[in-house]
Structure 1
Amino acid sequence: MSETSEDEQTQLQTSDDDEDLSGEEELEDGDNDHVEEDNEAAQSGEDKLSNGSEPEDDAAEEQKLTWKDLGLNEALCQACDELKWKAPSKIQREAIPVALQGKDVIGLAETGSGKTGAFALPILHALLENPQRYFALVLTPTRELAFQIGEQFEALGSGIGIKCCVVVGGMDMVAQGLQLAKKPHIIIATPGRLVDHLENMKGFNLKAIKYLVMDEADRILNMDFEVELDKILKVLPRERRTFLFSATMTKKVKKLQRASLKDPVKIEVSNKYQTVEQLQQSYLFIPVKYKDVYLVHILNELAGNSFMIFCSTCNNTVKTALMLRALGLAAIPLHGQMSQNKRLAALNKFKTKNRSILISTDVASRGLDIPHVDVVVNFDIPTHSKDYIHRVGRTARAGRSGKAITLVSQYDIELYQRIEHLLGKQLTLYKCEEDEVMALQERVAEAQRTAKLELKDLEDTRGGKGHKRGGDNNDDSENFTGARKRIKPMGGTGGGHKPGAGGRKSFGKKNWSKGKQKR
């Protein structure tokens, strides 16, 4: 691989100031314009680009096309075989030939469709033809996604000596600066930290970049990275290829497209806001006071599966994890206010199946391919309907089947109706026997008390700040190996029947008008 010019190899200088992580943390609260976007997205068909073909044709085409047919270098075809990527996915079949022709690409595809391969393979193909350092820049919204993309680039380029550098917040800037000074071929970065390096690192620039990728572009914009994106786009060369990948086409993404792409080819391989066919989606209408009991019942009923449970706040993830641990379940939290090392450790334990339940905020709901997620539980219903699509996209990936269960309380009805409106269909009722659920109430109440005390201890040890960063000390304190047990009710008959008796008839039924009055 050839090096860039000598004048770019100046001495490295980095700032010793405290790192500003404000741009890198997952935002728990989104913009107010999401509600308008939800309604507009469900009603408007103007964004549908529909390059996809009929399912029968797709299946036949998938059987015929190989990686070599797409025009990829032999070394990359071999790398795909070694990774057991049998055949190109829809987005890869559509995007790779266009990208190899040197055109800008906008790719709209559902999660789990192989978007990373769709931009990584053409970039590596071009790099082999014209080797140079600082060849491509990939921008992502979250740290975890950046590390995952880096792993895929290194796996695909392992036989050809590709050097990658991941530049994200929460990690040491000096160490990252030293990596950048070695002039990697591929830089994968979150926008905030990349701007830090551009402003503080002497001699570092992006003038040589030939390819720019914006992955999960809608998410980057929703996390208020517009200012950082503008700064990055200004220092990139005009003569470059740009790939923009997004699960949804919002107004902000359209604006970004006009600003950064030249005559792009638009590719959409699925209907807007579609969830995959192999995904079994259901809802459970419950009284909010028994939410934890119903969650434990679901985990108990589906024991033996791996779970991702989504909560709305960082505090909820920690509290729920403590409660489940008190019941002997192998739960681990993941949220945006944990340190980067803790987040990576939590993800790794779940990926390697050392922990079977990952309790997460939306920080992990986009772009992360964790192959063994069997069941997604929306413990807290997402505030923005589109986030539902991305949450449930964690399961039923790459042709596998999966389940998604959404808990709907009397206060969530309007949000739930928005989700059904966006999907264009009604979800099925998740059936469960109320008597069996309420039999667990006493055990769960005891676990809640234990969790409350542990959470208070954590807050006390951190000087009252435990509600902000409680997950840091708390994601690796289990005293069990991850084996799951079926939870048995206390006292044989279960002491929890009486409290639920009054509302028993309404459990599991869609009484929307009644629910609205309760709001």
Structure 2
Amino acid sequence: MSTFNELGLSQNVLKALTDLGYENPTEIQEKAIPQVLTSDQDLKAFAQTGTGKTAAFSLPILEQINSEDSNTQAIILSPTRELAIQIAKNIDEFSKYLKGVKTLAVYGGSSIEDQIKKLKKGVQIIVGTPGRTVDLINRKQLKLSNIKWLVLDEADEMLNMGFKDELDKILEVTPKHKQTLLFSATFPKEVESIARNYMNNALEISAGKKNKGSDQVSHQYYVVSERNRYAALKRIADVNPDIYSIIFCRTRRETQEVADKLIKDGYNADALHGDLSQAQRDSVMQKFRKKHLQILVATDVAARGLDVNDLTHVINHKLPDQIENYTHRSGRTGRAGKEGISIAIVTGREKGKLRPIERILGKQFVSTPIPTGKEICQNQLLKLIDKVHDIEINEAEINDFLPSIYEKLEGLDREELIKRFVSLEFNTFLSYYQNAPDLNDSDQMRGRDSDSRGKRRDDENMTRFFINIGRKDKLNPARLIGLINEQQIAKNIEIGQIEILDTFSFFELDKNYKDETIASFQENDVDFEGRNVNVEITEKKRSGRSGGGRSRDKNRKDSGSGRRRSSGGKPGSDFKGFGRKRPDSKSAFGSSDKSSKRRKR
């Protein structure tokens, strides 16, 4: 790996990079900086979001700027005001030791008169949004006839936002002889059109494959019913106590509604979208960067200016309308060499939208079950214990209070003290998720005959079993899996299709363990909710009709979720207090299971 010193940068720039903690260039910086320094050839550069594109184009420009000439020498166009502000800030930091170099961000939502005043004093580098740049050109306050560099940053997004006409107007007033640098994370046809029309013999470089997602990011998806989308979002947040995340929504209204719900439910969250004033947006972003907010709910456009390296998750509350935007969203996490997780919350009908995204990313989404109340409480409890273990004790200040504390706690042994202390903060979470429903047992998970990757589940490797308990016995897929695990049939036994009916159910297991399954249930004399459990082998259902000779199988009403892995003997059912409520009772989220209405036989 090369160093910045080897890229041909001056000592003044290297000193600024050292102050900022820059050690080694990223791949796109390593390729772009020497090229722009040593050649005036146009350049098309493709790199994933978060790989340091700003330094890749600004550092070589700074090296060549004439600080004694106060005229505009470089124009950098960006799709949003937040990104324009961020780029200008970065360039100011890079040029800290370069005397006489001035940079100005011009964008809507801020006083154009103030920007004009600064322009008149002389600015070598302009960073602007297309709309405000055109406005200044029309007022004859911004002159680009002698610029040496034109940078199109996030060119794909500028086109997605409908700035083609503005880009055309800006490019028309720039000189024919200049160096045009186009930087983009994705490469739609419209970007290629700009390259053909406004670039000459452009060299193309890339860091990784075009449109490909970051290798540091893993991709997961959760299948939910539409009514449980927000409930699932909360559980994802709750099961990750250290979450530091952006939640992406498609519209401003959706963004504000989700943020309002999270704030009402006690999360450190806020919204970022175009309906906010510039002052409000600046305030929200400042709080998020300082981690005073754990969760930021944002539109695609508003989040473009965020430069945050420590995001643990990106959550797609809904998938974007344009596939390329998913790459930009997921690129917000997994930056600066750290790993990140990108999550998509989808309904059964939306699952098909994941396939084209997978082709672009070169990665597959992993189907993930929605966390149960038990999992959430366990993670929150362990996080609480970690906080207690790692807390620093102020011996000098606390010593005076200890005698009174010891007196009040006299009579409580160590175990009782621990239980009471933990319960003080933990009981709120415990009571909230008590009797919380299994959100995986939703309408979207019922009646499916294929698994998450589209393969049929009723294959020849599975044996179908009848069990004499059902929904009226408070059985759901999660509790049935737990019941199977408790029998310790085999380690990592594969569980296939599950069908939960009113008074009985069906499930599939690896056919190699059919005898062990029958023997385990018989020998263990299994009891569930006061009923003796009976398990028998039945024939598989055939396509278009139920299988086997059991009349019970003809009237199945709904089905559970797809193939799973058994935990290999460890009980997997919810522990007491975390089982699903009766179908006619309200859940912790105010919803009820209305899918179990009886049909006439």
Fold agreement, TM-score > 0.5: yes
Aligned 8 A contact 2:67 2:124 in 1: no
1:168 aligns with 2:107: yes
Following superposition, the deviation at residue 138 of structure 1 comes to 0.4
Higher relative contact order (CA 8 A, sep 6+): 1
> Which residue of 2 is the match for residue 50 of structure 1?
none
Within 5 Å, give how 1:61-100 maps onto structure 2: 62=1, 65-100=2-37
Aligned 8 A contact 1:300 1:486 in 2: no
1:328 aligns with 2:266: yes
Following superposition, the deviation at residue 430 of structure 1 comes to 2.3
Q: SS at 1:404's partner residue?
A: strand
| Matched residues, number | 407
Instruction: Describe the shift of the 1:503–1:108 C-alpha distance in structure 2 as closer, same or farther (beyond 3 A).
Output: closer
Instruction: Describe the shift of the 1:206–1:498 C-alpha distance in structure 2 as closer, same or farther (beyond 3 A).
Output: closer
User: Which residue, out of 91, 109, 121, partners 1:182?
Assistant: 121
Aligned 8 A contact 1:288 1:410 in 2: no
Within 5 Å, give how 1:123-138 maps onto structure 2: 123-127=61-65, 131-138=69-76
Cα deviation digits, residues 128-161 of structure 1 (max 9, x gap): 5875431211000111100000000000011113
Mapped to 1, the partners of 2:190 and 2:427 lie a distance apart of 47
Cα deviation digits, residues 45-65 of structure 1 (max 9, x gap): xxxxxxxxxxxxxxxxx1xx2
Cα deviation digits, residues 297-347 of structure 1 (max 9, x gap): 111010122111011111111111111111110001011222222112211
User: Which residue, out of 98, 103, 116, partners 2:54?
Assistant: 116
Q: SS at 1:160's partner residue?
A: coil
Within 5 Å, give how 1:129-148 maps onto structure 2: 131-148=69-86
> Which residue of 1 is the match for residue 452 of structure 2?
510
**AA in 1 matched with 2:434:** T
Cα deviation digits, residues 174-216 of structure 1 (max 9, x gap): 1111121111111100111111111124x54222322111101
Q: SS at 2:349's partner residue?
A: coil
Following superposition, the deviation at residue 433 of structure 1 comes to 4.2
Q: SS at 2:180's partner residue?
A: strand
> Which residue of 2 is the match for residue 429 of structure 1?
367
Q: SS at 1:412's partner residue?
A: helix
Greater Rg by CA: 2
Following superposition, the deviation at residue 366 of structure 1 comes to 3.6
Aligned 8 A contact 1:281 1:427 in 2: yes
Mapped to 2, the partners of 1:486 and 1:293 lie a distance apart of 20
Within 5 Å, give how 1:55-454 maps onto structure 2: 62=1, 65-101=2-38, 102-127=40-65, 131-161=69-99, 162-201=101-140, 204-366=142-304, 368-434=306-372, 436=374
Structure 1's unaligned 5+ residue stretches are 1-61, 440-483
**AA in 2 matched with 1:178:** K
Cα deviation digits, residues 372-393 of structure 1 (max 9, x gap): 2111111111222211111010
Structure 2's unaligned 5+ residue stretches are 378-424, 457-558, 561-601
**AA in 2 matched with 1:510:** S
> Which residue of 2 is the match for residue 494 of structure 1?
435
**AA in 1 matched with 2:126:** I
What's the % identity of the aligned pairs?
34
Q: SS at 2:65's partner residue?
A: helix
Aligned 8 A contact 1:96 1:119 in 2: yes
Q: After the TM superposition, which of the residue ranges 422-431 and 308-317 deviates more from structure 2?
A: 422-431
Mapped to 1, the partners of 2:440 and 2:15 lie a distance apart of 62
Aligned 8 A contact 2:72 2:143 in 1: no
Cα deviation digits, residues 71-98 of structure 1 (max 9, x gap): 1112111111111110111111111111
Mapped to 2, the partners of 1:283 and 1:141 lie a distance apart of 29
Q: SS at 1:411's partner residue?
A: helix
More strand by share: 2
> Which residue of 2 is the match for residue 7 of structure 1?
none
CA RMSD of aligned residues (A): 2.8
Aligned 8 A contact 2:238 2:376 in 1: no
TM-score, normalising length: structure 2:
0.63
